Structure 1
Amino acid sequence: MSTTAPAAGQLPVADTPAVRRAFLRLLLTEKRRAAVAVGLHLVAAVAAAVAPLLLGEMLDRLTAGSGTGAIDRLALGLVASIAAVIGFTWAGTFVSHRLGERLSARMRVEFVDRALRLPMPVVEQAGSGDLMTRSSADVPEAGVLFRDGLPQITVSILKVIVFLGAMLWASPLLGLCMLVVVPPLFIGTRWYLKRARTGYLNERQAESAIGDTIGASADGARTTETYRLRDRRDAAGDATVARHWAAARYTLFLRSVFFPFLDGAYALPTATVLLVGGALYFDGAVTIGTVASCAVLTRQIMFPIDHILMWVEKVQRGFAAMSRIEGVAEAEDTEANATAERPVDGTVDLIDVRYAYPSGTRDVLHGVTLSVPAGQRLAVVGPSGAGKSTLARLISGSDTPREGRAAIGGVDVAALPLDERRRRVTLVTQEHHVFTASLRDNLILARADASDAELNDALAAVGADWAFDLPDGLDTALGGKARELDAASAQQIALARIILADPDVVILDEATAMLDPRAARDTERALAAVLEGRTVIAIAHRLHTAHDADRIAVVEDGRVAELGSHDELIALDGHYAALWRAWHGGAENRADADDGEPEHREEDLASAGNPL
Structure 2
Amino acid sequence: MTQALPVASRSQAWRYARSLFRAHPGMFRATVGLHLLAALAGLAGPRLLGELVQEVQRGTPTGQLDRLAATLAGFVLLQSVLIRYAYLASARLGEQVLARLREEFIARVLSLPLGTVESAGTGDLLTRTTRDVDALSKCVRLAVPETTIALLTGGLVVVALIAVDPVLAAPLLVGVPITVAGTRWYVRRAPSGYLRQNAAYSEVTDGLTETVEGARTVEALGRQGQRVARTDRDLYRSWRAERYTLFLRTVWWPVIEVSYVIPMVLTLLTGGWMYLRGTVTLGALTAAVVYVQQLIHPLDRLLSWLDELQVGAASLARLLGVAEAPQPPRRDAPAPDGSPLEVRGVRFGYVEGREVLHGVDLTLRPGERLAVVGPSGAGKSTLGRLLAGLHQPTEGSVTVGGVPLSELAPDRLRAEVALVSQEHHVFVGTLRDNVAMARPRAPEPDVRTALAAVHALEWADGLPDGLDTVIGDGGLPLTAAQAQQVALARLILADPHTLVLDEATALLDPRAARDLERSLAAVVHGRTVVAIAHRLFSAHDADRVAVVEDGRITELGSHDELVAANGSYAALWREWQGEAPEKPPDTARARPREDAPL
TM-score, normalised by the number of residues in structure 2: 0.96
Tell me by how many angstroms 1:217 deviates: 2.3
* Structure 1 residue runs of 4 or more that deviate by more than 6 Å after TM superposition: none
1:213 maps onto 2:207 in alignment: yes
**Cα distance in 1 between the residues matched to 2:39 and 2:201:** 41
Deviations 1:397-417 (A, max 9, x none): 221212111112221111222
Tell me by how many angstroms 1:282 deviates: 2.0
**Cα distance in 2 between the residues matched to 1:198 and 1:410:** 46
Tell me by how many angstroms 1:531 deviates: 1.3
**Cα distance in 2 between the residues matched to 1:222 and 1:266:** 58
SS of 2:433's equivalent?
A: helix
TM-score, normalised by the number of residues in structure 1: 0.93
The corresponding residue for 1:410 is: 402
The corresponding residue for 1:430 is: 422
Tell me by how many angstroms 1:589 deviates: 5.4
1:390 to 377, 382, 386: 382
Contact in 2 for aligned 1:580/1:591 (Cα 8 Å): no
2:235 partner letter: V
Tell me by how many angstroms 1:249 deviates: 1.1
**Cα distance in 2 between the residues matched to 1:247 and 1:8:** 20
Contact in 2 for aligned 1:462/1:526 (Cα 8 Å): yes
1:576 maps onto 2:569 in alignment: yes
2:40 to 40, 46, 70: 46
* 418-427 vs 497-506, greater mean Cα deviation: 418-427
Identity rate, percent: 46
1:184 maps onto 2:181 in alignment: no
The corresponding residue for 2:269 is: 275
**Cα distance in 1 between the residues matched to 2:333 and 2:467:** 38
SS of 2:372's equivalent?
A: strand
The corresponding residue for 1:97 is: 91
1:401 maps onto 2:398 in alignment: no
Tell me by how many angstroms 1:226 deviates: 4.5
2:153 to 149, 159, 165: 159
* 196-205 vs 362-371, greater mean Cα deviation: 362-371
The corresponding residue for 2:278 is: 284
Deviations 1:463-484 (A, max 9, x none): 1121111121222110123211
Contact in 2 for aligned 1:381/1:541 (Cα 8 Å): yes
The corresponding residue for 2:589 is: 592
Contact in 1 for aligned 2:371/2:530 (Cα 8 Å): yes
1:141 maps onto 2:135 in alignment: yes
1:254 maps onto 2:251 in alignment: no
Provide the aligned length of Structure 1 versus Structure 2: 592
1:24 maps onto 2:51 in alignment: no
Contact in 1 for aligned 2:28/2:93 (Cα 8 Å): yes
**Cα distance in 1 between the residues matched to 2:446 and 2:332:** 32
Instruction: List runs of 5+ in structure 2 lacking aligned partners.
Output: none
The corresponding residue for 2:315 is: 321
The corresponding residue for 1:4 is: none
Contact in 1 for aligned 2:537/2:594 (Cα 8 Å): no
Deviations 1:317-348 (A, max 9, x none): 111111110111112x626x223553113521
Q: Please, what is the CA RMSD of the aligned residues?
A: 1.8
SS of 1:600's equivalent?
A: coil
* 549-558 vs 212-221, greater mean Cα deviation: 212-221
What are the within-5 Å matches in structure 2 for residues 458-473 of structure 1?
Answer: 458-464=450-456, 465-473=458-466
What are the within-5 Å matches in structure 2 for residues 112-127 of structure 1?
Answer: 112-127=106-121
Tell me by how many angstroms 1:54 deviates: 0.7
2:389 partner letter: G
1:73 to 67, 77, 83: 67
Tell me by how many angstroms 1:490 deviates: 0.8
Tell me by how many angstroms 1:496 deviates: 0.8
1:342 to 334, 338, 354: 334
Deviations 1:365-399 (A, max 9, x none): 11111101111111100111111111111112221
Contact in 1 for aligned 2:577/2:593 (Cα 8 Å): no
The corresponding residue for 2:413 is: 421
SS of 1:351's equivalent?
A: strand
What are the within-5 Å matches in structure 2 for residues 294-313 of structure 1?
Answer: 294-313=288-307
1:546 maps onto 2:539 in alignment: yes
The corresponding residue for 1:353 is: 346
Instruction: List runs of 5+ in structure 1 lacking aligned partners.
Output: 1-6
* 300-309 vs 95-104, greater mean Cα deviation: 95-104
1:312 partner letter: L
SS of 2:116's equivalent?
A: helix
Tell me by how many angstroms 1:280 deviates: 1.6
Tell me by how many angstroms 1:67 deviates: 3.0
Deviations 1:171-201 (A, max 9, x none): 1221232222111111111111111111111
Q: 1:530 to 1:457 in 2, by over 3 A?
A: same
1:161 partner letter: G
Deviations 1:475-514 (A, max 9, x none): 2110123211111111111111111112111111111111
2:316 partner letter: M
Tell me by how many angstroms 1:129 deviates: 0.5
2:78 to 56, 79, 84: 84
Tell me by how many angstroms 1:222 deviates: 3.8
**Cα distance in 2 between the residues matched to 1:590 and 1:584:** 12
**Cα distance in 1 between the residues matched to 2:486 and 2:29:** 49
Tell me by how many angstroms 1:228 deviates: 4.3
The corresponding residue for 1:533 is: 526
**Cα distance in 2 between the residues matched to 1:289 and 1:473:** 80
